[in-house]
Amino acid sequence: MKNVEKYSRGYFMPPVQSLKWTEKEYITKAPIWCSVDLRDGNQALIIPMSLEEKLEYFQMLVDLGFKEIEVGFPAASETEYAFLRKLIEEDLIPDDVTIQVLTQAREHIIKRTFESLVGAKKAVVHVYNSTSVAQRDQVFRKSKEEIIAIAVKGAELLKKYAAETPGNFQFQYSPESFTGTEIEFSLEICNRVIDIWNPTADDKIIINLPATVSMSMPHVYASQIEYMSDHLKARDNVILSVHPHNDRGTGVADTELALLAGADRVEGTLFGNGERTGNVDIVTLALNMYSHGVDPKLNFEKLPAIIKKYERLTRMTVHERQPYAGELVFTAFSGSHQDAIAKGMKWRENEVRDFWTVPYLPIDPHDIGRQYEGDIIRINSQSGKGGVAYILQQTYGIDLPQEMREGFGYHVKDVSDQSHKELSPEEIYDLFMQEYVNISTPVEYVSFKYTENGEYNAAVTIKVDGEEITCRGKGNGRFDAISNALKEHLQLEYTDLTYNEHALTIGSSSQAISYVGIRAKDGQVYWGSGIDTDIMVSSIKGLFSVINKVLTK
């Protein structure tokens, strides 16, 4: 590509190597989660949520288990201010939930923010100022000392107004654009703020290190976090928070490695909504932990319903390939994938295992409210016999014999290919019924009788061209005798007669389904199927179905 020379790596590595995080295998416990959907996410919407919509969204976050929720920038607009006042005055905030508000390090904004918080049971007041080289040089045109002065003044003002305002407040500071700030300067400015707030074990503060713009590979961000964690003052009394954005598509990786590197807390949004490419997706983070057997302390057991509400309130859509949440992320169209999943699911029915190990499915879709039927395996022209058989078995209880699956699988693939579309379970069922079940032309089954005297003698009444005819045959069983009667009357030659059957439904009017296969004179194998409330009649109808297929080939 042209102009590559205009780009440089605008981030800063720590002055000493920080790689202890590489020795850890996985995240062993959930962080403190803080949803910023109602502030960072909401400000990025084409149409921001109304007060009523924000109230509904807030309740959804509470129901999911969030204990910290950033509810807005109350000094920014009357809607934001009114929303916060309604939460406090109408006692809509559960006792175990802490709200968070954002403010710039400017006195009139801080003053207005504390006015909005009067009477709050507990609130985090989050003050920030931008610290990066680009922001200092291009936006504020201020020196490092002047940038520090802004942060110091903001920290002092938070102490001042908190002391004057009824409520219970915790302080948070962010060096905005941390990833573009010299790491030593980030440490210096954060430590200056810590000195002012003087945190204790009973009154901890939050230092938030945002990837306001993602600028590096994830391991660099992790090294930056580890360096800060190792060198912040009063570290035991500081909650180290991260707020990653997704500009490089690495928001989840940035966050996971940051947690390994010492972060205690994560700010993010559901499904990654936010400015530009969005914030880190808390759903993905939480379910990644879940897939490793770690309780994320958030409840996504009804994920489809959460998605539906999220899309209605935000007017955003969850992409079909969004991890865990997307409509297609557990779906297999490929024949080999479908076959492996179907066999894996069948294996689990007969094996007792402590851990989930089904091929291609990192977690059990049922655990997040997804259905197997028509959701995990879907059928198009790329699908195989295993997937088609799985759909029929899971949705309709039709358990095709292995030998029958290939022919029907190819038939379904051909129909999908010619129609250029995915086939629904209903369409697959209809194809099976049309192609195999109770075929009654040109020879229709009417009735049968048999007698047993050392061998079976069968009398089978059939209808051909509207005329009823009775044909007779002998065999070593009822079905064999009926088969021989049809062979002789219709002058058919076939071998390797095979059939099996099973109950299709349960109850007094239950139906049985039979599958009948024969090898015709030309060597080709044909299959038919019969359904009836009488198991014997279902087998006879299956035989008629396959014979009619031979007669009309």
Predicted confidence (pLDDT) at residue 392 exceeds the cutoff of 70 = yes
- Picking from 28-42, 76-90, 225-239, 371-385, which range would have the lowest pLDDT averaged per residue? 371-385
Predicted confidence (pLDDT) at residue 377 exceeds the cutoff of 70 = no
Please indicate, yes or no, if residue 20 is contained in any of the structural domains: no
The pLDDT value given to residue 497: 86
The pLDDT of 55-78, averaged and rounded, is: 96
In the numeric block, the tokens 């809509």 are attached to 92
Predicted confidence (pLDDT) at residue 382 exceeds the cutoff of 70 = no
Instruction: Give the tens place of pLDDT for each residue, 269-320.
Output: 999 999 999 999 999 999 999 999 999 999 999 999 999 999 999 999 999 9
Please indicate if the annotation marks 279 as binding a ligand. Answer: yes
What is the 3-state secondary structure of 294-352?
CCCCCCCCCHHHHHHHHHHHHCCCCCCCCCCCCCCCCCECCHHHHHHHHHHHHHHHHCC
Please indicate if the annotation marks 40 as binding a ligand. Answer: yes
Residues 498 and 430 in one domain: no
Predicted confidence (pLDDT) at residue 451 exceeds the cutoff of 90 = no
Residues 431 and 459 in one domain: no
The pLDDT value given to residue 379: 59
Q: What CATH number does the domain containing 483 carry?
A: 3.30.160.270
The pLDDT value given to residue 336: 74
Instruction: Give the tens place of pLDDT for each residue, 146-167.
Output: 999 999 999 999 999 999 999 9
β-bridge partners, 258: none
Among the candidates 256, 290, 324, a domain finishes at: 290
Residues 415 and 447 in one domain: no
Residues 416 and 516 in one domain: no
Please indicate, yes or no, if residue 317 is contained in any of the structural domains: no
The pLDDT of 122-147, averaged and rounded, is: 95
Strands 238-244 and 265-268 come out as parallel
Residues 183 and 51 in one domain: yes
Round to whole Å and give the CA distance between 489 and 470.
9
Q: How much of the chain is helix, strand and coil, in % rounded to 5?
A: 45, 20, 35
Give the DSSP letter of residue 444. Answer: E
- Residues sharing a CB contact under 8 Å with residue 514, sequence separation 6 or more, in sequence order: 499, 500, 501, 529, 530, 531, 535, 538, 539, 541, 542
- Tell me the pLDDT band of 42, cut-offs 50, 70 and 90: very high
Higher pLDDT, 7 or 282: 282
- Residues sharing a CB contact under 8 Å with residue 25, sequence separation 6 or more, in sequence order: none
- Tell me the pLDDT band of 429, cut-offs 50, 70 and 90: very high
Please indicate, yes or no, if residue 3 is contained in any of the structural domains: no
Among the candidates 436, 458, 491, a domain finishes at: 436
Q: How many CB atoms lie within 10 A of CB 195?
A: 12
Round to whole Å and give the CA distance between 301 and 370.
9
Predicted confidence (pLDDT) at residue 390 exceeds the cutoff of 90 = no
Of 379, 414, 365, 407, nearest to 517 by C-alpha is 407
Please indicate if the annotation marks 245 as binding a ligand. Answer: yes
Give the distance from CA 411 to its chain's centroid: 32
The pLDDT of 235-259, averaged and rounded, is: 98
Residues 274 and 353 in one domain: no
Residues 432 and 449 in one domain: no
Distance separating the N- and C-terminal Cα atoms of the chain: 60
Residues 382 and 492 in one domain: no
Listed in order, strand segments (DSSP E) in 87-136 are: 98-104, 120-130
Predicted confidence (pLDDT) at residue 145 exceeds the cutoff of 70 = yes
Instruction: Give the tens place of pLDDT for each residue, 340-366.
Output: 877 888 888 877 778 898 888 899 999
The pLDDT of 381-399, averaged and rounded, is: 76
Please indicate, yes or no, if residue 5 is contained in any of the structural domains: no
Task: Report the percentage of the chain scoring pLDDT > 90.
Answer: 72
Residues 484 and 546 in one domain: yes
Q: What CATH number does the domain containing 51 carry?
A: 3.20.20.70
Residue 294, burial from CB neighbour count under 10 angstroms (0-12, 13-18, 19+): middle
The pLDDT of 407-431, averaged and rounded, is: 85
**DSSP H helix total and E strand total for the chain:** 17, 14
Q: How many CB atoms lie within 10 A of CB 151?
A: 23
Please indicate, yes or no, if residue 12 is contained in any of the structural domains: no
Over the chain, what is the mean pLDDT?
91
The pLDDT value given to residue 339: 74
- Picking from 84-88, 144-148, 257-261, 384-388, which range would have the lowest pLDDT averaged per residue? 384-388
The pLDDT of 86-96, averaged and rounded, is: 96
Please indicate, yes or no, if residue 540 is contained in any of the structural domains: yes
The pLDDT value given to residue 179: 95
Higher pLDDT, 235 or 327: 235
Residue 462, burial from CB neighbour count under 10 angstroms (0-12, 13-18, 19+): buried
Predicted confidence (pLDDT) at residue 381 exceeds the cutoff of 60 = no
Residues 426 and 479 in one domain: no
Of 273, 359, 249, nearest to 39 by C-alpha is 273
Among the candidates 290, 320, 353, a domain finishes at: 290
The pLDDT value given to residue 421: 82
Strands 32-35 and 265-268 come out as parallel
Predicted confidence (pLDDT) at residue 516 exceeds the cutoff of 80 = yes
Residues 49 and 161 in one domain: yes
The pLDDT of 93-108, averaged and rounded, is: 97
Assign 462 to helix, strand or coil: strand
- Picking from 62-71, 255-264, 543-552, which range would have the lowest pLDDT averaged per residue? 543-552
- Tell me the pLDDT band of 380, cut-offs 50, 70 and 90: low
The pLDDT of 7-28, averaged and rounded, is: 89
Please indicate, yes or no, if residue 2 is contained in any of the structural domains: no
Residues 101 and 215 in one domain: yes
Please indicate, yes or no, if residue 295 is contained in any of the structural domains: no
Give the tokens for residue 69.
């929720």
Round to whole Å and give the CA distance between 199 and 170.
10
For 471, the domain range is 443-551
Greatest CA separation for the chain: 110
- Tell me the pLDDT band of 376, cut-offs 50, 70 and 90: low
User: What total of structural domains would you count in the chain?
Assistant: 3
